[in-house]
Amino acid sequence: MMPFDCSTLGGRAPTTLVRARSLSHHALQWAARAARANLAAVPDDSHLSMEWDAAHALLLSQPLASNDGEIRIGLDIAGLALTLWRGKVCLDTFELSGRRDSVVGVWLDSALRTLGLKPASDVRLPYAVAASSVSRGGAYNSNGEGEALHELARWFGTAADLLGQVSVQLSEAYPGTGPVRCWPHHFNMVFLVALAGDSAEPTTSAGIGFSPGDEHYPQPYVYLSSSPRLNSTDLPPLPAPGHWHVQGFVGAVVTGEEILMLSDRTRDLRGFIGAAFDIVRTRVAGSS
């Protein structure tokens, strides 16, 4: 297995991706609505989760069974476009820039109905995302955001590669390690490692993930957290430049700016994840 490559990152400063992230996060909800309309609900809402397609550099919904085979809704972050896939064939692409959600809904609903699927426009999701000009009725405006959208897509691709390789490695010792998924609510990409209990319902677990940024950090970051939540007192130091985040959630964090400053990004980021996982695993085991 080739080591993941984060040498392509840094074309834009991580803190300049906020608007690109907001546009992409809002656009992703169309794929989530289509999934909620056409897939049986499961308790953890994993039917709404997305997978990273490395070959085409986009996020793909779970398969929707149509009268024309399995259909997936994709989000091309770099191009700010929704895509419609049957297997490996792209059926259609709909660029979002300059268009309002009302227009997007007409396109997607028409495409879904043609394929014998239920429309997405009237679906209400069981969560809310941060308000934006688009959610207030404005058009998707990607003017000046082309480089930022491409950089954001590179962060997602790198994170998917990194998390995929770490999950494979950990699955040898922890068979309950789950798949890497992107969740439309927080727009984060994460996998869970079952540390104790049944893999379907672990009593203790560690989450290793990536966020493109949120209310905690206005930039991408890699994190490790746990269930049950770690006690935030007396946590041991992490490898530089990582730190413990204790407001809102407790977890080990390394930000995008810090990742870009690493002398050997691949080695040092893997080292951070390994050290943080050992601390999380030990602490969670000790509290159970």
**DSSP H or E stretch at residue 193:** strand 188-197
pLDDT at res. 287:
64
pLDDT at res. 200:
65
Tell me if 50 sits within 8 A of 185, measured CB to CB.
no
Answer whether residue 201 shows pLDDT above 80: no
pLDDT at res. 7:
85
pLDDT at res. 55:
95
pLDDT at res. 149:
98
Residue 66 CA to residue 86 CA, distance in Å, equals 10
Answer whether residue 69 shows pLDDT above 70: yes
pLDDT at res. 199:
61
Average pLDDT over residues 5-25: 95
What's the predicted TM-score (pTM) here?
A: 0.96
- Give, to the nearest 10 degrees, the angle between helix 146-171 and helix 265-287: 50
Answer whether residue 224 shows pLDDT above 90: yes
Answer whether residue 197 shows pLDDT above 80: no
DSSP states along 199-232: SSSEEEEEEEEEES--SS-SS-EEEEEEESPPP-
pLDDT at res. 6:
83
Average pLDDT over residues 239-267: 94
